[in-house]
Amino acid sequence: MGSLDGKVALVTGSSRGIGRAVALRFAGEGARVVLNCRRSLEAAREVADRIEVSHPGASLIAQGDVSSREQVEGVVDAAVRTFGRLDILVCNAGIAGRGLRLLEIRDDDWRTMIETTLTGAFFCARAVVPHMLKAGRGRIITISSTSGITGGTSGAHYAAAKGGLISLTKALSAELAPRGITVNSIAPSKIETEMLRDAPEKEQLLRKIPVGRFGTPQEIAALALFLASEDAGYITGETIVASGGYR
């Protein structure tokens, strides 16, 4: 028996990195998982294939851009039509900040960052919450960043989007807690994903992490699993930092 048996989870941006790890971990704990991606269909199919090997019928690929309200509603409709319910939402979709300085950030850079990371989470929550209200329970988990707390080094647009995600989490948690829905955020830092692998200052960053290594997507997935479980029913409105002590 898994801790998520019978549950259905939508994980945005789940074709790679943290989202991929969350989807695989949730499926391993008995959840049926809706895999969302914008363009990376081949990568999403690889995740679905891995799930189907041991959990036949437990995955659904729902392609869609979270910055589009219509596409988000289409993803949610497909999930409910296929599995009949939605219990867990993990808002993970986002883009890298690339460390741009203020005067390097173009209008399109700002707009795309905010629309994908922050507006996307808003659209997803607004589409999913009615189904959770009907069930009388639910779990929403946003994947933010320590940059949303400290400002970080990935650019003002990235910090603003991730900080806004933390504030959205707090607002939704207060509104939805009386209805049985918890809303929490995970703020990772220096996780071994494509964004970090491409960073030119990678070795310098490593020397600044007290635990002496980068985090893994699987460690963030384990934290998401706890927040999605029944054991986390008294935790809401929180932002949990996973940084290896990096500040």
* Helix or strand run (H / E) with residue 204: helix 202-207
Bridge partners for 185 per DSSP: 142, 239
Q: How is residue 10 written in tokens?
A: 């939508």
Residue 157: count other Cβ atoms within 10 Å of its Cβ. Answer: 22
- Give the span between the Cα atoms of 105 and 97, in whole angstroms: 10
246 is annotated as an active-site residue: no
What are the respective helix, strand and coil percentages of the chain, to the nearest 5?
50, 15, 35
Residue 137: count other Cβ atoms within 10 Å of its Cβ. Answer: 15
Please pick, among 83, 158, 214, 246, the residue that the annotation labels catalytic: 158
Spatial CB neighbours of 185, under 8 Å, sequence gap ≥ 6: 141, 142, 143, 144, 165, 166, 169, 238, 239, 240
- Give the span between the Cα atoms of 8 and 32, in whole angstroms: 5
Give the active site residues.
158
